[in-house]
Structures are given as structure tokens and as C-alpha cells.
């Protein structure tokens, strides 16, 4: 994970709830806008974000999101101000023909989520259908669900959308 800044986007999902968090974990979750359990956000891969995620390894899970999953996430779980769904009309107003084209532009770095007016930066997800495969008390590399999971984040996101 020690590489220079890239165009990669991380999907970050909060797995643990409120109880037992350290103050710095609470503040970092607030900065990432992950205020409740099963909330997800998409962030750029920068050194400062990686540092924040390293602090939160035992509260969240994260990894590189792919184009198909990002398109599905925006389509099914994306919300506009006023809690309205992201519609094709809204995308066409922005100059995109469908969700896949928007996802591709986001992944290539042509646009930023912050530059999309009215789109909420947080996606509220369901608990994963079929449940978690491991415990939510251990790191992913130790058979749990927390921390960095690379491309496997896409499978988890599809279970939660």
C-alpha cells in the first residue's frame, strides 16, 4: 500500500458502531463522514487518506472500488439533497448518459465527487445479505472483516447494496 498518489478510489465502509471508540477514531470517522454503521463513502487514494484509514483499521473496511460496483452504488444507493434518488435526468443534466459513464469519469479522475452538485457524499447500505463471512472483531488478513481488503471490497459492496 506504500505507493505514490494515484487515481484509485477507495470505498470505505464503517463496520463497527458507536461503543468503545477512541476519541481520535471518532474524529477521523467524522472527517470521513462515516457517522453511522453501514455507511460508505468513496475517497481518493492520497497519503493523508491512507493515514486516516490506517488509524481506523479496526472500525472500517476499505479497498479499491471498480467501475461496475461504483456505477451500481450510485444508481441504487446514491442520494441527492432532499433524499431523492440519482436519476438519469440528473446525470444527463451533468453531461453523462448513464451511471457507468459517471463511474468511469470518477475513476479516471476527470471529475470529483465534491464537484457534483446536490449529490450526497455518503451512501447508506444494508447489512450484507448472507451476513459477514468472518468476525467483525478481527482484521481481514486474520480471517475477520476489518481493515484493508483490496479488490474484495467490491464483493462485499454488492452484498450490501
pLDDT digits (tens, 9 = 90+) for 10-33: 999 999 888 888 999 999 999 999
Q: CA-CA distance, 161 to 125, in Å (whole number)?
A: 6
CATH 1.10.15 residue ranges in the chain? 67-120
Would you say residue 103 has pLDDT above 50?
Answer: yes
77-97 tens-digit pLDDT: 999 988 899 989 989 998 899
At residue 159, the pLDDT reads 93
Q: Say if pTM beats, i.e. exceeds, 0.85.
A: yes
Residue showing cell 434518488? 85
118-155 tens-digit pLDDT: 889 899 999 999 988 888 899 999 999 999 999 999 99
CATH 3.30.1390.20 residue ranges in the chain? 9-65+125-160
Check if the beta carbon of residue 6 is closer than 8 Å to that of residue 62: no
Report the chain's mean pLDDT, rounded to a whole number: 90
Q: CA-CA distance, 40 to 70, in Å (whole number)?
A: 11
CATH architecture of 67-120: Orthogonal Bundle (1.10)
Superfamily of domain 9-65+125-160: Ribosomal protein L30/L7 (3.30.1390.20)
Helices (H), the chain: 23-31, 47-55, 67-77, 88-94, 99-108, 153-160
Amino acid at each position: 500500500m506504500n505507493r505514490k498518489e494515484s487515481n484509485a478510489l477507495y470505498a470505505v465502509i464503517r463496520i463497527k458502531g458507536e461503543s468503545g471508540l477512541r476519541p481520535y477514531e471518532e474524529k477521523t470517522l467524522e472527517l470521513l463522514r462515516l457517522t453511522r454503521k453501514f455507511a460508505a463513502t468513496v475517497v481518493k487514494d492520497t497519503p493523508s487518506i491512507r493515514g486516516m484509514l490506517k488509524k481506523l483499521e479496526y472500525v472500517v473496511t476499505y479497498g479499491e472500488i471498480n467501475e461496475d460496483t461504483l456505477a451500481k452504488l450510485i444508481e441504487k444507493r446514491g442520494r441527492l439533497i432532499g433524499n431523492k434518488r440519482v436519476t438519469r435526468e440528473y446525470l444527463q443534466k451533468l453531461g453523462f448518459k448513464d451511471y457507468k459513464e459517471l463511474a468511469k469519469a470518477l475513476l479516471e479522475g476527470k471529475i470529483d465527487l465534491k464537484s457534483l452538485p446536490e449529490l450526497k457524499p455518503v451512501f447508506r447500505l444494508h447489512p450484507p445479505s448472507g451476513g459477514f463471512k468472518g468476525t467483525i472483531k478481527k482484521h481481514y488478513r486474520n480471517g475477520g472483516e476489518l481493515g484493508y481488503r483490496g479488490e474484495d471490497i467490491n464483493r462485499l459492496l454488492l452484498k450490501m447494496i
